Amino acid sequence: MLPDPDEQATLDVTAAIAALRTRVEDSGLSLKESADFSLFEKTVRATEDKYLMEDFSPRFFDLHGATAFWVGAYNAHGNIVSVQAAKMDDLRDRSLAEHWQQQQRRIFVDPNPQVRFGTDHAHDAYFMRGRIVYHGNLWLRRDIRGKGLAEPLTQLGFLLSLLKWSPDYLYGLMAARSAEKGFGIRVGYRRFVPRGTHWEIAPGHIRADDWLVYATRGDLHGLAKLIVRTSGADPE
């Protein structure tokens, strides 16, 4: 009897997550997943960057386990060395671009009249609808950068999102330099638009040159299969 394709896909994703976790833990790090975003804020504020994105702040959003999570990586001394977060929005009634128009204006423009939010957002965002995951607030401490950990840590966040929500899309907003250097393709994004949200006058802490980078559900399943194949993990 042939295996059910959906069950096999789930096995691929869980096997890929296990392979990524092993790779990270073999480097001496431990991982913790949480839906406590008050703790996330405290954790981020204690890092060298101290930068908490508004998307993952409990002061702006009601973030809970059904629609959001974060992952921390800790060294042998129990110190935080990496964070990332993801949240899912159900946008079946509007496009991602329309969602941005509502959300970004409420967060950034209404409290600050000097900021001006445009309407010429990434082309693809006007056609993206459904269950859409935003992945962001990715940070690695300086001493673990360049050690091959950024990719498995980020991929872990992608595949946890896939396993939890089976989204239509998973996206991020990436600095143009990082996108052009190929970081996005290495971690699992498969589609790139050289514009993200359109700012006429951006807030001081927001980059105006970010790219929209994203992957479809099928792209994420393909990533899981690639990880399983290259890691030698057997999902059966």
For the chain, domains (ranges, CATH) are 5-231 (3.40.630.30)
Residue 115 scores a pLDDT above 50: yes
Sign of torsion over alpha carbons 41, 144, 222, 159: negative
Average pLDDT over residues 74-101: 96
Most confident of 38-52, 65-79, 173-187: 65-79
pLDDT on residue 5: 57
Contact residues for 136 (Cβ-Cβ < 8 A; gap 6+): 53, 55, 56, 84, 85, 86, 172, 173
Q: For residues 117 and 196, is the Cβ–Cβ distance under 8 A?
A: no
Is the entire prediction scored with pTM above 0.85?
yes
Residue 159 scores a pLDDT above 50: yes
Give the DSSP letter of residue 181: T
Q: For residues 127 and 91, is the Cβ–Cβ distance under 8 A?
A: no
Q: For residues 231 and 21, is the Cβ–Cβ distance under 8 A?
A: no
pLDDT confidence tier of residue 1, bands split at 50, 70 and 90: very low
